[in-house]
Amino acid sequence: MELEPGVRVPEVGIWSVKSPQFSWAQIRGAYPFLGPEMRSTGEVAAMGLTFREALLKSWLAATPNRIPRPDKTALIYGRGLERAQRAMSRAGYGCASIRGMPLRGCAELEAEDAARMIKEGEVGILMTDGYAPELDYHVRRAAVDHNVPVVLNRDLAAELALAIEDYMNGRLEFTYMEMGEYLEGGRLGRARWWRAASTSQRRRP
């Protein structure tokens, strides 16, 4: 792709994404939130032929992350989570938010009710941002204590929700190859390599 005369952006053939491995469940009573300090206890990485494939594979490799079942509720609340909410809705998930941090398009719950739904296994994922323990401490704690996937950054939530949307609607397939094959894909260019690749290497988990 040529941005301006003499300036070209090479075609991206492969993507690599790292995801942090948090240990919120082992830090009893702590309020799960992100800040400038290092809070992860490890990292996992994945490669893919698209950014969303690599992102979703990497995120799924971190415990306890998993793609929610269609009958689960996506608990999404806070400022800047609109893109994530819309994508999860298009993926077929019902949405709920909590009082004091509402989100258009989501049913508004009391924090106690949201925590109860998590404990009863009705919530498949929690997406939020910021720092508001006075409003959602028990909600976040219930999620990490019951191994519900938690996303604590609005930008990551949006990109992850778009990847889940593509996966649930059949537009994203996972590839499973050796690193050398991915690197070969990068040299050839993704479109050319994809046409030549065996369909047996592309499947849904």
CATH of the structural domain 2-203, one choice from 3.40.980.10, 3.40.50.1380, 3.30.230.70, 2.40.30.10: 3.40.50.1380
Residue, of 180 and 57, whose pLDDT is higher: 57
Q: What is the pTM of this model?
A: 0.84
Give pLDDT, residue 1.
Answer: 55
Query: What secondary structure does DSSP assign to 114-159, as a single string?
Result: HHHHHHTT-EEEEE--S--HHHHHHHHHHHHHTT--EE--HHHHHH
Question: How far apart (Å, rounded) are the C-alpha atoms in residues 92 and 86?
Answer: 10
The token pair that represents 3 in the structure block: 């941005």
Backbone angles phi and psi of 174, in degrees to 5: -85, 140
User: Residue 2: pLDDT above 90?
Assistant: no
The token pair that represents 48 in the structure block: 């893919």
- At 11-28, the pLDDT tens digits run 667 889 999 998 887 888
Q: Where are the domains of the chain?
A: 2-203
Q: Of 28, 57, 62, 32, which is closest to residue 44 (Cα–Cα)?
A: 62
- At 33-55, the pLDDT tens digits run 987 776 667 899 999 988 999 99
Question: How far apart (Å, rounded) are the C-alpha atoms in residues 147 and 124?
Answer: 10
- At 78-126, the pLDDT tens digits run 999 999 999 999 999 999 999 999 999 999 999 999 999 999 999 999 9
